[in-house]
Structure 1
Amino acid sequence: MKTLKLIAVAIVFLVSTNTIQAQVAVNVNIGSPPAWGPAGYSNVDYYYLPDVQAYYDIRATQFIYFGGGKWIRSRNLPNQYRNYNLYNGYKVVLNDYRGTRPYSNFKNHKVKYYKGYKGKPQKSIGSRSNNSSRVNKSTGNKSTGNGGKGGKGKSGHGNGKH
């Protein structure tokens, strides 16, 4: 009888050990913050960009903006903002949403963080290697000033921290 109990306990122990190991989850942030993102924040999924009234999804590396009556996800900002400077523009780190729709609070964000809004000074994660070059903020491509596109401009310098 004791042997049967020991076998039963051993089986329960082995099963529970396997269950515990199976429940271990790995939390990997697939997307990393862009060089133009505000420094000092980890575990952030979205920024709101008041000047262009758009969001940036860090994990999906996509901008989210309203156009044509719906919310659009794109790797680039809309054409009217193709020369917008993401390094110098203010970024609001969001934490007032649920799920994958930060724009659910767009009406509040638009009022609270109006175009031209400047909160606490921000410093970008990266730094620009050449201040005379311009970066196409929607694509991250560097321009040499002659209209041509150079290499990827993944470094940038902001104007303080949030």
Structure 2
Amino acid sequence: MKTANYIWIGILMLTLQTTYAQKAQLPQTGNGETILIKDPVTNCSYRYYYYPNLFGYYDAQKNEYILKIDNQWQRLKEIPNGYMGYSLNNKFNVLITDYDDEDVTQFIKVHKKKYPYNFHQKLKQVSSNE
């Protein structure tokens, strides 16, 4: 009986965690703009997040995902259903601390190599300063 209770508690916690993780937002000003914090070393704003499991980015300033669809980079408000098997359970991202201009996609090859994603094992936590 204890085991069944633990399983139900675990499922409930996982459900709540994924629900709140999806709704988490960055701080915003009164007019709806996202407040971006600057890296003291590079003097770049913390604007982009790289998603190794999507081979794409999230732009925190514009609240858009940048994904490659049909060989074209596109900016989307939401990740399309079923995009590369994406799910909330593999929502790992890396904060890009050394770039805050408009075209982060030019560094996709560097980010793929620096932050590889192994689809068969959990991704090891890495820091963008390594």
Q: Structure 2 length as normaliser, TM-score? A: 0.53
Provide the residue aligned with 1:64 in structure 2: 66
| Counterpart-to-counterpart distance in 2, 1:54 and 1:91 | 10
Aligned CA distance change for structure 1 residues 56 and 113 (closer, same or farther; 3 Å):
same
Matches within 5 A, 1:35-114: 43-81=45-83, 84-85=87-88, 89-97=91-99, 99-114=101-116
| Counterpart-to-counterpart distance in 2, 1:70 and 1:56 | 16
Matches within 5 A, 1:76-155: 76-81=78-83, 84-85=87-88, 89-97=91-99, 99-116=101-118, 117-120=123-126
Tell me the SS of whatever aligns to 2:82.
Answer: helix
User: What is the aligned residue count?
Assistant: 85
2:30 is the alignment partner of 1:30: no
In structure 2, give the amino acid aligned to 1:60: K
Once the two structures are superposed, residues 18-47 of structure 1 have per-residue CA deviations (whole angstroms, 9 ceiling, x without a partner) of xxxxxxxxxx792258xxxxxxxxx41110
Q: Which moved more, 1:55-64 or 1:95-104?
A: 95-104
| Counterpart-to-counterpart distance in 2, 1:107 and 1:60 | 23
Contact in 2 for aligned 1:97/1:105 (Cα 8 Å):
no
In structure 1, give the amino acid aligned to 2:48: Y
Higher helix share: 2
Q: Flag the structure with larger Rg.
A: 1
Per the TM alignment, residue 120 of structure 1 is displaced from its structure 2 partner at its CA by 4.2
| Counterpart-to-counterpart distance in 2, 1:96 and 1:30 | 21
Unaligned runs of 5+ in 2: 1-28, 37-44
Structure with the larger RCO, 1 or 2 (CA within 8 Å, 6+ apart): 1
Once the two structures are superposed, residues 34-91 of structure 1 have per-residue CA deviations (whole angstroms, 9 ceiling, x without a partner) of xxxxxxxxx41110011111100001110001112211000111332375117x5221
Q: Structure 1 length as normaliser, TM-score? A: 0.44
Aligned CA distance change for structure 1 residues 78 and 110 (closer, same or farther; 3 Å):
farther
Tell me the SS of whatever aligns to 1:103.
Answer: helix
Per the TM alignment, residue 96 of structure 1 is displaced from its structure 2 partner at its CA by 3.2
Provide the residue aligned with 2:9 in structure 1: none
